[in-house]
Each structure stands twice: as structure tokens, then as C-alpha cells.
Chain A
Amino acid sequence: MSDTTVSEPRSLKPGLVPPRSGDPEITDEVVTGHGLSAEEYERVLRIMGRAPTFTELGVFSAMWSEHCGYKNSRPALRLLPTQAPWVIQGPGENAGVIDIGDGYALAFKIESHNHPSAIEPYQGAATGVGGILRDIFTMGARPIAVLDSLRFGDLDSPRVRYLFSGVVKGIGDYGNCVGIPNIGGEVHFDRGYEGNPIVNAMCLGLMKHEDLITGVAEGVGNTLMAVGARTGRDGIHGATFASEELSEDADEDSRPMVQVGDPFTEKLLLEASLELIKSGHIVGIQDMGAAGLTSSATEMAGRGGTGVTIDVSRVPVREEGMTPYEILLSESQERMLVVAEQGKEDEVRKILEKWELEAAVIGEVTDDGLFRVQESGVTVAEIPALPLTTGCPTYEREGIEALEIAQLRDRELPEADAPERDLSEAVLTLLDSPNLASKRWIYNQYDTTVRTGTAVRPGGDAGVVRIRGTRRAVAATTDCNGRYVYLAPKTGAQAAMAEAARNLVCTGALPLAITNNLNFGNPTKPHIYYQFRQAVDGMAEACRIFETPVTGGNVSFYNETDGRAIYPTPVIGMVGVVEDVDHVTTHAFRRPGDAIVLLGVNTNELGGSEYLYAFHGLVAGAPPSVDLMAERSLQQATLEMIRSALVCSAHDCSEGGLAVALSESAVGQEKPLGFEVRVDDPIAPVPLLFGEAQGRIVLSCDPDDVEAILEIADKHGVPAQSLGTVREAGDGLVIEAGAHRVHVDTHAARQAFTRALPRRMDQTLTADSE
């Protein structure tokens, strides 16, 4: 392990601050309890030139937590490409921003709320949505869509069902109330997430270029204002908590008080913030998210190269007797920190009042580079601002692959040669797998059509929102198969990138950029750091080849329960633009008689598949390989076909393999259809039908257009073959593979596909189930 921090920023040394009466004394235990190592505490002493007060220790602890400080991830994240001509705002702000043409810009970001959701699924997920919405509208963008990426253990556990249903309800209730349509997401169920669910929420926001604003505390003498909800004792030290492992017998009282979301206040805050930004009365605005007032104030000062002074006694509070420590570290929701132009405080207050919200002056921007906190005029903390943000110690660690994973990857797989079961039955069983089945049970609880922009709703390959007044639309998707990443982190991360890009092009969108949410275990363990580092390397390479830079993201470490880590899950949130809404395409077959064409190559790769998990309970083998150049050609070919108006439907072929992709196009719509196809590749039937080879897309088109499609494929060097024909529902789903024949009744397939989740969820849910 080597400490590779940049040289310490030069800054004023803080003055002496006497201990505040009533605050605990600082002992070794107190320091350890704040998650700071002995070396880190040494560093605090060096920066301060003296011992910190209790309040100051709390500030360091929060800012240098993994969550705020990116201690273990920052060096690796520097490897990710972040630039392209269309990137307006890269990483480092509340959200990334790209140009999408016609004078519009798109802000987007993904954020995790795994730990809070494990404790209180409803509020944890709800406040996760609240936080990501604020990250978007503090950029000056109006949120236009939400996506959610979820992971849980297997649904046969009552506790998992309780978590799953609470999370979905929390996401729905919050987004629905604010009025932001959900346009997609994903969910996987696998024992690898038992006890430690993943809840990532992504938001897209639209703005005109000139409305961009950032979280910067500029202009000495400008006024800091706390805006929105009052500060309570909820979530104190949530950031530090999110940087620790969960343990099943964790003391209830040691956990921070659960944060409760108030989407109604959020909606008012959203409107008020956008109005404030338009008004020109403010120079900066930022959400009080993780580590609350502390992180928003110090980050804004850090970016502005300024200092700030805050008086906590002026912060509107919900409860009496709150200490400076509590006020600084509270994670109460629906609050903003605003830097108003000096003299414009009343104008700001007026706008907030219209929206029935409070705005209080709590401090000002200074030129001394210090984060100074006062309590009724008495200084209780004084810390150089820059070291708090950029001076967080960072670590680049040794990574080593765990032997047992290498063994799993190399092990021999059942059914790689000959099927042990009836293949038609196997198709039905897979369609009933919660991982492959319709997610309608989820998105029926989400408003998907509010704001009248949703051109492709959840249930397709990617969500699409048209931009009123233009011919354009934006598309977004989230993807990651944690099993692949577990078995081979670099390949797995590239597969996530490739799937996201395929999902976008299938709707007619050109992929432009990504945000990512890196969900991993404890990075101080060498085999976890290995996963992390490999995944970042893989992602970086794919970003370069796809020309989709990273504009922001989030790292969530310590996703472990009792020492067991989740599958490494670097969720990719990718956005793209459809140039003309006439190109918007969905995955559903449209007309009997249409031809079915496969782009890409079937391979003999069964590793990491849902088939192995569903029938053998196995997560093993090498995950399907990824050829990034071939993926890129596939993307370009598909887009050209769609833009030439040759394509009736396009569907990414991935989890569940070819048989499942075809079935989804047939029965994954209200009026199911049938199909009849023939595949003659010299591959054993199970890997052929259910292997999850990358780089494939299933299209349907007018039979007269097959030739044109094959020509475009050929031009791009993309292998393509005509597979068969879309049929009436009554003809069933028919696949001939060499000597094997699959024939599934369309109605039975649709039942399996649509009933899988409701069937499992229509059971009693209790909070205390083990």
C-alpha cells in the first residue's frame, strides 16, 4: 500500500479554537470511532497545526470518509476518459453535462443508496431518488427522467421480498410525487446480493446551455443561505456509515437516525431552485447531501478557491438543542446551500416564499481559504477548506485475484455438450426466471408518462424521452451483469458497457457518454481491490473505443455483510441521442410475416449464464468474451439500418441468450406474436440457445429489406444472418437448432414471462423476516 496523495495544498493555518463545553474529549477511541486511521489522524494534526476540536474531528471524519473523499478509488478513477467535444461538464460537479444539439444540454448522474436501503428499504430508496434529483436540478437542469438499477438476493427469501417491495415503493412514491417519469432500469436477483441490496438511481435533466450553473462559492462577501427543509438529527454521519460494512448484529442505536424523504418539499424545492437560477441572483447552489452542510460548504469553497464562514445558530433546525457537530453533519433531506449575490438575499427569500419554503442567511464567502464555523458568533471550528476536499488521503492498493474465483471460472460446465432436459420446457423456465421475466410488476408502480415526453417506456431496451420543440430525443439505460464481473472483472465491465451501448442503439440512439456507479466490497481487501481496478481498466478501454466518456459517477464500497462481499457491480448509466424521433425503435416484433435477422455471431460460451444459475445454481465458467471493436461496428451498423428506416424492431440479445431474446420480442408486448427461426451454427444446442454471447442484436424487418440490411452489415464488417419469420401468436415460438426443435405455446410463454414477479410477490411481507 502506498500513500500517493498530491502534495498538501498550501493554505492558511487555522487559529486556536478552544474546546466547546459539553463536547466529548478527543481520545484514541473517539478518533477510531470516526473511521480515521492513526496515519490519517496524524495528517489532520499536520494540517491543523494543533489538535482538532470535536466538531472539527467530525468534519474531517465525514469529508475523509470513503463516500465523500474517494480515498480508495480516486487514483483508479483518474484512468477513465472524461473528454469529448460534446462534454460540457465532466466529473467533479453535482452532475455531468453534455451537449445534445439544438441549444440543449443534458445533465445526468447516478447515485447509490445501498446502505440506507438495507436498513429501511422504503425511505432508503426514496431518499436516494431525492438526492439524485437534487444533483440534477442544482445544475440548472429540469429533471426529465429517472432510472433505477437494483440488486437483491433470491426472491424465495421473505426478507428479500420485503426489501424489494419496499425499495420499489420508495422509488415510485418519491419520483411519482415529484412528477418525474421513470423510463427504465434493471433488477437482478442472485444470492450474491443477499443481505446487501444495491439501489442505484439515475436522473437525466434538460436545460438550455445558458442555464448551466455550478456548485461554486465565488465572490468574497457573497452570502451563504440554507434553503428548503429544516435540519434535524437524521442521518448524522451517514457518509461515514456508508463507508463501513454492514454487520447483521450491528447495534441498532449506533446507526444514524433514518432519513425520511418528503417528495412534496422536493417538488417545491425543484421549482424554487430553477427559478432562483434563472433569476441571476445566485452564483452557486448545491445539495446538502452526504455529510450535509459540511460537504456542501467545503466543496463549494474548494471549487471556488475561497473560504466560508457559517454560523450554525442561524441554520433553521427542526429540533431544539442541536450541537454544531449535529447541525454540520445532519443529512436531513430536501435542503440546499445557496451562494447569493451580496444584497440579493431578499430577492432570494421572496422566490422561496412563493414556493412556501424557508431561506436563511447562515454565512458568507471569505478570502482566507478557511472553513470557519461559529455558534452564535463563537468559533467552534476552523479548518483549511482545500485539504478537506482535495487533501483527503488516497490509497492505491495491491490487488490479487481470489484463487477460488479463478477456479470457478476455469471449471467445467454442465450441459456444454448435450442437453439434460427438454429445451422447450427450458425456455418456459427461463422466461419465468425473475432475472429474465417481465419487470412490469416494478414499473407499474412508477409513473412513466408524466411530463408527456416518454416515447419508449420501461420494458424496452432503453428509455426514450423526446425533446419538445425539436425532432430529437434522448435515450438512457443502466446495465451491469455482476456475475460476469465476479467471474472476470475486466471482461464483465466491458460487457456492461457493450450491453448499455447495444440497448441504446436498439432504440435508435447514438451513445454519447456514461455515468457509473461502482458497487464493490471492502477495497482494503486485495481481492476486492483487484476486482475494482480490473473493472475500471475494462471500462476505461471501452469508453475510449465507444467514444463515450465518463462525466461523473459514484463509488459505493463496503457492500459486505458479515465479511461476504456482493458481486462486484459497476453499473453503467449510458445516455445517447436519437436525432429524429421517427427513428425511435422498440424491441417488439410488429407484424407477422416480417423477417428476423441476427446481427453478430453465436458462440459456444455458456459461462456466467442465467441458464446455469436457473438449472444448476451455478455462477461459474468464463463469462462471454467481449470484442470492443466488433461491438462498435455492430452499433454503427444497427444505427445506419434504423436511420435508413429498414428496421421494424431491434432487441439486444444478452441475458438468457438467443432463445430468450427472440421470446421477449414476441411476447414482451401487449399483443404477443409468434416466430419460426432456424439456426444452424455447429454449436451444441444449450450454448447455442441459452449462451450469452455478446455483440448480438435481433432485428425484424420487412422481408423485402433483408438484402439491404445484410448489405449494411457487410459494409460494417458485421456478420449477419437471416433467421426466419415473425408468425401469428397462434403459431407458437419455434426454433430449429440442428436436429433439435423448440416449440413453445405463445400464451404459455407470455404467462410465464408476465406472471413471474407478481406470482412471487403476492405473498405476505413482514419487516422482521429473516
Chain B
Amino acid sequence: MRVAVLTFPGSNCDYDLYQAVKQVGGEPVWRWHRDRGLEGMDAVLLPGGFSYGDYLRAGAIARFSPIMEDVRAFAEQGGPVVGICNGFQILCEAGLLPGALIRNESLRFQSEDCLLRVERTDTVFTSDYAPGQVLRIPLAHAEGNYRADRETLDRLEGEGLVLFRYVDESGEVVREANPNGSLNNIAGIVNPAGNVMGMMPHPERAMETLLGSADGLGVFTSLLASLATAG
């Protein structure tokens, strides 16, 4: 399974994503933002980091990178696209996912493990998790505060497009578990077609217990499994 890992100027989790894909048996392929073409790719990953230094707004400049036209086309044909952290921000800026990510309520960069509840397991990104499973996954961002207008939010909730939510240890959605002020404790969402996913926490950093947690594996094994059945 060939999985494109994009690198924008300022991406810094591309290496980690590359390793994660490799670890679950996929074939990661580097793609520099000025390279064109995603032919032959089975999935596309947009990494975390600080594309263009997060200047202006996180993701605002990267969304105009040449490769983003190909990402849009790839997504429109139903290809799976995952944006993590800065990748999520880019997908929102590009309009491939609804809403926006603004400054954390604390106004500080926030780096810690968070607990996430898996809201749906019938997607290509979460099929290897148990319903309601609580994951421990590192996050590290300054702009992860998810915002959308009322209407969009109602649609996300109504159509079950929220994939991950910040929760406490017992799996409850509580204010204290919310690291950045996101509406409804939203940590990750999927588009209505179910093939474009964005999340702020970093599953690729939770791939082995030596580093603290292996709970992020499921995102990558789910994706690879779906590609195997699709292909």
C-alpha cells in the first residue's frame, strides 16, 4: 500500500508519519509540496509541524502549495486523506474539512498526553478500535481550538462526523479534559463522505510503549486494513 507523506516547508512530523506507516507495513512515499501528482497513491497524509512557520494562521499559506490541488482531486475521487495537527489545520484552511482551529484558550502552546474517546468505529480510520475506547495520545499545538458556526456544528454532531473527543479517564466529556477550548471537546472530525479526516493529537507518536503509549496504532492499522480490502 503506497501512502504519500507530504512535506510542506516547515512540516516537522513528516518523518514520524513516515515511520508510523512503515511500522504497520505500508509503503510510505515522500512528497515535497512542489512535487505534482499523487497517481498510484492509496492514501495521503498531511503531517504536523509549522508549515510556513504558522505565520498569518496555521495552515493558511500551505493550503496554496501546488500539491494541494492534487490532494483536493484525490479526496474528491474518494481517496483517504488524513491531516494530523498542522495537517488538520491545512485541511480546514483548504475547505476540505469544515471549521477552523484558533489559538488555544490558554494562549499557550500545550504539550502533554491527552485522552481521546473514539466516537465511531465504522470509518476507515477507526475500524480497529472498540466503540467508546479511550486512547492516550500526545498532543502538541498552540492552535487547536476547534471552532465552527452553529449550523456546521449541528451538522457535525447530527451526522456523527466527530471522530475523537477529549475526555477524562472514565471516558466523560468534561471541561477539565479539554486542552485547548475546542467546541464540544472536538479533537478530530471526518468529512461526510468519510474519506477525509483531521485530528489535532498525534497518533503517530503513540506507536510503542517505550515512548509512553501504543494507542495510536489503530489509526494506521485501520487505514491499512481498509486499503487492503479496497485494493
Q: Which A residues fall within an 8 A CB radius of B?
A: 169, 172-173, 176-179, 262-265, 267-268, 354-356, 443-455, 457, 466, 468, 581, 584
Contact = CB atoms under 8 A, between A and B. Distances in A.
Contact of A447 (B108, B140, B212): B140
B211 A447 contact: no
Q: Which 3 A-B pairs have the closest CB atoms?
A: A179-B12, A264-B53, A447-B140
Contact of A356 (B9, B108, B211, B212): B9
Contacts, number: 89
B29 to A, nearest CB: 18
B204 interface: yes
Given A179-B13, A268-B9, A355-B9, 11 more contacts: A169-B109, A173-B142, A179-B49, A264-B10, A264-B53, A444-B108, A450-B13, A450-B48, A450-B140, A452-B204, A452-B207
Interface in B60-95: none
B111 A446 contact: yes
B202 A264 contact: no
Contact of A267 (B12, B15, B204): B12
A411 to B, nearest CB: 43
Interface string B137-153: 01010100000000000
A444 B113 CA distance: 10
**Among the interface residues B16, B110, B204, which one has the most CB atoms of the partner chain A within 10 A?**
B16
Contact of B211 (A179, A354, A449): A449
17 contacts: A169-B108, A169-B109, A173-B109, A173-B142, A177-B53, A445-B108, A445-B109, A446-B111, A447-B111, A450-B12, A450-B13, A450-B48, A450-B205, A452-B19, A452-B207, A457-B212, A466-B210
Given A176-B140, A445-B108, A451-B15, A264 B9 contact: yes
A413 B19 CA distance: 57
Nearest to A582: B210
Contacts of A179: 12-13, 49-50
Interface string B162-194: 000000000000000000000000000000000
A448 B52 CA distance: 21
Contacts of A178: 12
Given A444-B108, A445-B111, A455-B211, A177 B202 contact: no
B112 interface: yes
Interface of B: 9-10, 12-13, 15-16, 19-20, 32, 48-50, 52-55, 108-112, 138, 140, 142, 202, 204-205, 207, 210-212
Nearest to A466: B210
A150 B167 CA distance: 34
B205 A449 contact: yes
A452 B23 CA distance: 12
A584 B211 CA distance: 11
Contacts of A176: 50, 109, 111, 140, 142
Given A264-B9, A267-B10, A447 B210 contact: no
A143 B92 CA distance: 31
A264 B140 contact: no
Contacts of B140: 176, 447-450
A581 B53 contact: no
Nearest to A265: B53
Contacts of A584: 210
Contacts of A354: 32
Contacts of A445: 108-111
A454 B13 contact: no
A455 B207 CA distance: 12
Contacts of B53: 177, 262-265
A267 B15 CA distance: 14
B9 A454 contact: no
A468 B16 CA distance: 11
A403 B103 CA distance: 54
Contacts of A177: 10, 12, 50, 53-54
Contact of B10 (A268, A443, A446): A268
A161 B195 CA distance: 47
Contact of B202 (A449, A453, A457): A449
B109 A443 contact: no
A453 B16 CA distance: 9
Contacts of B54: 177
A312 to B, nearest CB: 29
Nearest to A671: B169
A750 to B, nearest CB: 15
